[in-house]
Amino acid sequence: MPRFRLLVAYDGTDFHGWQRQEPPNLPALRTAQGVLTDAVSDLMRERITVDGASRTDSGVHARGQVAAFSIADPRIPVSRLVMALNTRLPPDLEVRGAWVANNSFDPIRNCRSKAYSYRLRHGCEGRPDGLDGRADPFERRTTAQCRHPLDITRMRTAAALMIGTHDFRSFAHCPEQRESTIRSVHTCSVIEPSPGVVRVDVAGGGFLYHMVRIMVGTLVEIGRGRFEPESVTEILAARNRARAGPTMSPVGLCLEWIHYGTTDPTIAADSVDGATAPTASETA
């Protein structure tokens, strides 16, 4: 049975997360998986199950979500799949690539690493543009707001201490739901893409529930001077959620990419639109 892999991007503001949700005796909630599944099913003229690599929360965005589905009779060549699906999708969700994948490809189990970014405007109170803490109307869907000015140097020092393999129980919501809270963070960096804006980039083998948002919340507390940068080591050792910073709003969080190894075994053919299949060095 042919299997297809999709690269998907969406503005998560008006979605109840990625995963399809159908409450008993109630209409299904609008989710990215649900909308994409309906579009694929409509195109293929039969009910299809579309699996996703990352179960992003309500309000979280994605540039590099990976999805996959199988169908006995595709009805349409992979070269036309992107265009055919996008004509059936709303403006806040887009398919950016399509490939033929190995029949065994599982977007969750085959994932080797993934990356998120968190975008935050800080020092909003008393801004010269007169916003005084209000969200910039051009950023309100993708950038979180912090009224307090942040010390980027302190945040960078702390971010470096989050890199490595640690028990991230202090940085997880409902950690008891996982067999292990040990995770490997490959990179954690704090950059300033423009004046007054901070972006935290985090990549790793996998993340716990709300882990990135709590990591960023802790960095914000350090940037404000409420925690010391070196306290990250103590917070990790405590294995206690109460020791870390707050869970940041989902508005600033974006799933950037998902990788599947140095020689991605899931791709069986080139992608549409003349692009080649992604490698480990590209955003999948």
Catalytic residues: 57
Token look-up 């699906």 returns: 85
Residue 121, SS3? strand
Q: Assign residue 144 a region (left: φ > 0; alpha: ψ between -120 and 50; beta: otherwise).
A: beta
Cα 25 to Cα 14, 22, 28, 38, 205, distances in angstroms: 22, 9, 9, 20, 38
| Cross-strand bridge partners of residue 198 | 120
Q: Is-contact 5 99, C-beta < 8 A?
A: yes
Least Cα distance to 210 among 243, 164, 160, 249 occurs for 249
Residues 6+ apart with CB under 8 A from 118: 144, 199, 200, 202, 212, 213, 216, 248, 252, 253, 254
- Measured CA to CA, the distance from residue 111 to residue 221 in angstroms comes to 32
Instruction: Show the tokens assigned to 248.
Output: 């940041």
CA 30, chain centre distance (Å): 18
Least Cα distance to 5 among 89, 95, 138 occurs for 95
Taking the CA of residue 126 as centre, how many other CA atoms within 13 Å lie in the half-sphere pointing to its CB? 3
Residues 6+ apart with CB under 8 A from 207: 114, 116, 183
